[in-house]
Chains A and B, each alone.
Chain A
Amino acid sequence: MPGLRQNTKRLFPLIKYLQTSLLLTTGLAGFMSARCPVLNLGLMSELTLSLFLAISGSTVLNMIFDRDIDARMERTRKRPIPSGCVSLREAWILGCVLSAAGIAWAFKLNLLYGVIVFAGLFFDVAVYTIWLKRRTAWSVVWGGISGGMPILAGRALALGAIDWIGVALMFAVLFWIPTHIMTFNIRHKEDYARAGIPTFSSAYGDQVTRFVIALSSVLAAVSMGSAAYGIQITWGSLRVLAILSIGLFSLAVCSLRQPSWKLNFGLFKYASIYMLGSMLLMSFGAIG
């Protein structure tokens, strides 16, 4: 048993559990926005596990393809593969097994759900990581699309179809991604430049990037608000969502007007709180 515990401790960082948890939360919120979790506990458990496996699998595969970049960046050089803590073979096995299991389970549950989960993994690993990440700063859009797939998948599984609310939720995540990623790009600009990764910050400058962040936070808030209205969450929950959205936009504008390292970091953190809060409101906001 100590061997199993040690291996789990060694391999666990490969799945970037915070990022995976946030994406999983969006998937669960998509499901709960259409179906009661208590009455559909079995289906929701299967959604949780299949989505967890697929997201974790794609994250491990990303780590494999990005290992040379990770080794060059100060922030990521201690990750399991570049640090030598996990061998490439182990990572391949883990990534393929998790991805295959997640996608197979997703297809078994529902064809449409399976297609969306597969599309998410394909966009993330093949389009974003392998093809575009090293070529263009606009790769973030494709990263955003793959990030929006879990919430669309969750809602599609609950309804058996794709509706406009699911698409609006997907766009909310898609527009939220720049706020999250680009603030990070600004913060670690030199690191990304050292690794040769084009970012908005290096291609168009920090001020343009901050403007894009402010604009995308407005679009994220509008998409989230439209979806919330469609889901018919209570007026009270809608008010809380509006305040959270105004907070996001205000911080983005402050960061544009008075740029500082601390404020940029604050916006990055607030974006995560905003997403978590919004997902809780989408999940439980209709109760009342």
Chain B
Amino acid sequence: MRGFSVADRTLLLATALLAGYQVAVGIEGLSNLAVVFYSIGFGALMIAALMLIILDREALGHSSVMLLATLLPIFLALGMITERVARSSYVFILFAAVGFASLVIARLWLGAAAARVVLISLHTLSGFIIVGFPFFSVLTGTASFAYVFVGIGGAIISFVGSALAFQRMSIDACEALFTKRIPWLLFIITVCFTAGMAWGAV
């Protein structure tokens, strides 16, 4: 398997810098809780990009990258809910906490299959939020049109998450399609979130 090209590495560096910018500047002014959740989400994106630069494609098979891929949608969804619907955010926070606890319990005592079921459930709900919520906000007029970009970024995250899961299951076609485009996908995700959050607020 060929390593990343210079262009791929440049994109990954741009992704890391942009995610770092979001953590440092892009989420200023939000509530403390939203800032914490977004920081973990964008932080996971930043570290994932740096790890891919350093470890190349081999990083994709590493368990720490799988962990980052799990943190990313969940914490972005948590940030989004906390930012936009503060009153009912505790329901999702509780759900995420129970989900994480179930994941740890399943991993430690119930085996890999049970852990996968919990993980898929968490991913599905987070994916549903980060894709559906921005579009819903735009349609109901609680966010401007640019917030759609966040939904597009969310859709790509969901795709990347599924592709990673399939790759873990060694589905060759998916692996070939996915690993070639991962720098582009991560970059587009970050651009979409940055643009959507910067221009999408009402």
Contact = CB atoms under 8 A, between A and B. Distances in A.
A262 B55 contact: yes
B10 interface: no
A270 B24 contact: no
> Counting chain B CB atoms within 10 Å of each CB, which of A237, A263, A273 scores highest?
A263
A202 interface: no
A154 to B, nearest CB: 23
A109 interface: no
A236 B43 contact: no
Contacts of A240: 20, 23-24, 46
Interface stretch (A57-65, A93-101, A204-212, A246-254): A246-254
A247 B47 contact: yes
A243 B47 contact: yes
A266 interface: yes
B28 A269 contact: no
Nearest to B36: A239
A277 to B, nearest CB: 8
A234 interface: yes
- Please classify how large the interface on chain A is, using the bins under 10, 10 to 19, 20 to 34, 35 or more: 20 to 34
Interface string A142-172: 0000000000000000000000000000000
Given A243-B23, A246-B43, A270 B64 contact: no
Contact of B23 (A236, A265, A269): A236
Interface string A82-112: 0000000000000000000000000000000
Contacts of A237: 24
B25 interface: yes
A251 B23 contact: no
Interface of A is mostly: helix
A52 to B, nearest CB: 26
B50 interface: yes
A263 B54 CA distance: 9
Given A236-B28, A250-B64, A243 B46 contact: yes
Interface string B14-50: 0000001001110110000001000100010011001
Nearest to A280: B20
A247 B39 contact: no
B25 to A, nearest CB: 5
A6 interface: no
Interface residues of B, number: 20
B63 to A, nearest CB: 7
Contacts of B43: 239, 243, 246
Contact of A270 (B28, B50, B58): B50
A250 B39 CA distance: 16
A246 B64 CA distance: 12
B28 A251 contact: no
A258 interface: yes
Interface in B50-64: 50-51, 54-55, 58-59, 62-64
Nearest to B58: A262
A266 B25 contact: no
Contacts of B46: 240, 243, 247
Interface in A124-146: none
Contact of B39 (A239, A251, A258, A263): A239
A236 B54 contact: no
Given A243-B46, A243-B47, A247-B47, A270 B54 contact: yes
A262 B58 CA distance: 9
B39 A266 contact: no
A258 B67 CA distance: 15
B54 A254 contact: no
Contacts of A269: 54
Nearest to B44: A243
30 contacts: A236-B23, A236-B24, A236-B25, A236-B28, A237-B24, A239-B24, A239-B39, A242-B39, A243-B23, A243-B43, A243-B47, A246-B47, A247-B46, A247-B47, A250-B47, A250-B64, A251-B51, A251-B64, A254-B62, A254-B64, A263-B55, A265-B54, A265-B55, A266-B55, A266-B59, A269-B54, A270-B50, A270-B51, A270-B54, A273-B50
Nearest first, the 5 A-B pairs at minimum CB distance are: A236-B24, A243-B43, A247-B47, A269-B54, A266-B55
Given A239-B35, A240-B24, A266-B59, 7 more contacts: A239-B23, A243-B39, A251-B64, A254-B62, A262-B58, A270-B51, A288-B25
